[in-house]
Amino acid sequence: MVFSRGNPHERGVGIMLNPNIAKSLKGFWPVSDRIIVTTLNSKPFDTNIVQVYAPTTDHDDTEVEAFYEELDKTLQQLKLTNIKIIMGDFNAKVGARRIGNTVGSQGLGEINERGEMLVGWCQENDLVVANTWFENHPRRKWTWISPGDKYRNQINYVLVQSRFRNAVLSAKTMP
């Protein structure tokens, strides 16, 4: 089952659920062409999966800040008791250096300015960048390749509430 929002030729966001998980679907909320939310029936709490597509480096910081404000408003509207998983293309690099309990040492590359914004936002919201805490093959880390395959960057992340960090047994992205 696929849910999407936006223009696929410019920008948009989507989430795909396998048939077994789709049976647990309680709701789908397309917030914008950059954010969608699905709610899954789970125990002991329901789970909200927030899929995002952040502005690229072609956009200025004001558009990125507006994206994070919209994401904040979205999270505020979710039930406090629900488990929240925020994932997707953040167009940011958090790097391979551990940053407190927010970013692990298993990321890729060096942090950039947008990565600093993401890490700061995660710290404000008590979130952990889950896929930087697990050792994975490099092809399970990079999610963007430059033209000519000169650079490979990790810009897609899985964020979880720090209180549920120990419940995450593995996290990786697909190139």
One-letter amino acid for residue 40 of the chain: L
Domain that holds residue 160: 2-167
pLDDT digits (tens, 9 = 90+) for 50-66: 999 999 888 889 999 99
Query: Is residue 16 in some structural domain?
Result: yes
Are the CB atoms for 55 and 64 separated by under 8 Å?
Answer: yes
Query: Is residue 65 in some structural domain?
Result: yes
Prior bond to 8 cis, omega within 30?
no
Query: Is residue 70 in some structural domain?
Result: yes
One-letter amino acid for residue 89 of the chain: D
pLDDT band at 10 (very low <50, low <70, confident <90, very high): low
Query: Is residue 175 in some structural domain?
Result: no
pLDDT digits (tens, 9 = 90+) for 11-48: 788 888 889 988 999 999 999 999 999 999 999 999 99
Query: Is residue 174 in some structural domain?
Result: no
pLDDT digits (tens, 9 = 90+) for 87-142: 999 999 999 999 999 999 999 889 999 999 999 999 999 999 999 999 887 777 77
Query: Is residue 11 in some structural domain?
Result: yes
Q: What is the greatest pairwise CA distance in the chain? A: 47
pLDDT of the residue at 78: 96
Query: Is residue 172 in some structural domain?
Result: no
Query: Is residue 100 in some structural domain?
Result: yes
| Structure tokens, 92 | 């940011």
Question: At 71, which CATH number?
Answer: 3.60.10.10
Are the CB atoms for 27 and 62 separated by under 8 Å?
Answer: no
